[in-house]
Amino acid sequence: MATVIIPTPLRKFTNQTSRLQVEAGTVGEIIEKITQDYPELKKHLMDPQGSLRSFVNIFAGDEDIRDLQEGKTPVNPSSIISIVPAIAGGTH
């Protein structure tokens, strides 16, 4: 199962869990599963149109999924997926 790292400000919505183990084939499926399990996460990650909010970055390993295949970015059981708040709208 892939590991998802939850940033400190969002742990309030995951029962203070910092790492979630998720069975999924893509980053998009991971987001779908964690927002089903923890519904309050959804409005913080997604805009009303269902897209990732522009100031939220999701990394697969060290790479921003916007530079990969976005939601279709494949994951495997050793993948580390991290949700990272953008500072200054900064994509690295």
Partner 1 sequence: MANTLTIASPGLTEKLAGLRSQIGHTPVRNFPNIFRKENVKLYAKLEWKQLSGSVKARAAFAIFRDAIEKKQLHPGRILLDATSGNTGIAYARIGKILGIPVTLCLPENASAERKEILRSLGVELVLTSRFEGTDGAQDIARSLAEQSPGLYFYADQYKNENNWKAHFDGTAVEILKEVPGITHFVAGLGTTGSFMGTSRRLKKQDVSIRVISLQPDNPLHGLEGWKHLETAVVPEIYDSTLADENLEISTEEAYQMIREVKIKEGLLLSPSSAANLVGAIRVASRLDQGTVVTLLPDNGDKYGELIKKLFK
Where do contacts with partner 1 occur on this chain (CB under 8 A)? 5-10, 12, 43-45, 47, 53-57, 82-92
Q: Which lies closer to partner 1 via its Cβ, residue 18 or residue 25?
A: 18
Tell me the closest approach of the beta carbon of residue 9 to partner 1, in angstroms. Answer: 3
Rank residues 72 and 92 by Cβ distance to partner 1 and give the closer one: 92
**Minimum distance of partner 1 from residue 59's CB (angstroms):** 9
Nearer to partner 1, 25 or 54 (CB): 54
The secondary structure of the chain, three-state, reads CEEEECCHHHHHHCCCCCEEEECCCEHHHHHHHHHHHCCCHHHHHECCCCCECCCEEEEECCEEHHHCCHHHCECCCCCEEEEEECCCCCCC
